[in-house]
Amino acid sequence: MRIFKMEPRHYFLLSTAAAVTTICLKTLAWSLTGSMGLLSDAMESFVNLAGATFALWMITIAKCPPDKHHPMGHSKAEYFSSGFEGILIFGAAGGIIYSAATRLLHPQPLEAMGLGLVLSVGSSLINLFVALAMRKAAVRYRSIALEGGSRHLMTDVWTSAGVVSGLVIVTLTGWLWLDAVVAILVGLHILSEGWRLIHGAADGLMDAALPETSVAVVEEVLLILPRRGARHTNLRTRQAGAVGYVYFNVLVPGHWTIVQAHALLDEVEAAICARLPDTHVFTHPEPLPQDPSLMGASQATSP
């Protein structure tokens, strides 16, 4: 029997379904209570829906094979998803803070708090489940789009927790102004999350290096070279969405044939790719500088 395997696009379909469900629950909770905190929570779910839809589109583009105009592939499309979601968060946060500030000046009584809180908690549990699933998938597929979606959903979970806590206090104390203050704090919190997403997307579009753990793996594999009488120089890495790129030169003894050098480069490239899936390795062989201590100065060649 064939076992269904979840792919990145499936997680965004799951996220889209969760966003639609939580929008309905949170909007109903807001309409029942009139709480600005619950309204801010519902607005963020609208951002989740738009972000998940756009991310699904970008994931599809990122999986397209290289073509004439994009010989290195389309993997960087994922960064547009993360940046777009960050911009949406900024817009939502601005609307939340503006509306909450208005309510702070003109507090209004809240109604049906019990049912509203139940609906809010239920929607948060849905987001928590999807966020944890996307976080695991982001690590497995090395996807910044999945990571961005997971971060945003977890922000929504913490947002809901803060809103619910604030509304419980409002119910117990009668401090109506606290509902607006909670909404403003929610807006400021998701502003910081939006900034992290935008910064991460910009960093990726500017060819940021691979994570330190991945670079350490590459350097560990390159320890093969000294044992074979060779060494490496000019190690460079970059991340493009889920795809990694590694570049370095391999210095080999001058008397080696091209067949010997090529065999060593193939071995090292295969070892790196085996430990870092979805990584492309580019190497360039060069002759080792001759050691003047082993020959006459007149026979020594410059590096």
CA atoms of 252 and 226, how far apart (whole Å): 10
Residue in this structure with the two tokens 């500030």, named with its chain if needed: 101
pLDDT digits (tens, 9 = 90+) for 120-179: 889 889 989 999 998 888 888 777 668 777 877 887 787 788 788 888 888 888 888 888
pLDDT digits (tens, 9 = 90+) for 162-208: 788 888 888 888 888 888 888 788 778 778 777 877 777 777 677 77
pTM over 0.75, yes/no:
no
Domains and CATH numbers, the chain: 8-205 (1.20.1510.10), 212-294 (3.30.70.1350)
Residue 133: C-alpha distances to residues 42, 126, 191 (Å): 22, 11, 24
Burial 48-85 (b: 16+ CB within 10 A, else e): bbbbbebbbbbbeebbeeeeeeeeebbbbbbbbbbbbb
Do the Cβ atoms of 72 and 132 come closer than 8 Å? no
Res 4: pLDDT: 62
Do the Cβ atoms of 166 and 180 come closer than 8 Å? no
pLDDT digits (tens, 9 = 90+) for 254-288: 899 999 999 999 999 999 999 998 899 999 999 98
**Beta-carbon count within 10 A of 199 CB:** 13
Residue 221: pLDDT band with limits 50, 70, 90 = very high
CA atoms of 47 and 26, how far apart (whole Å): 13
CA atoms of 32 and 46, how far apart (whole Å): 18
Res 48: pLDDT: 67
CA atoms of 87 and 205, how far apart (whole Å): 16
Q: Which residue has the higher pLDDT, 203 or 245?
A: 245
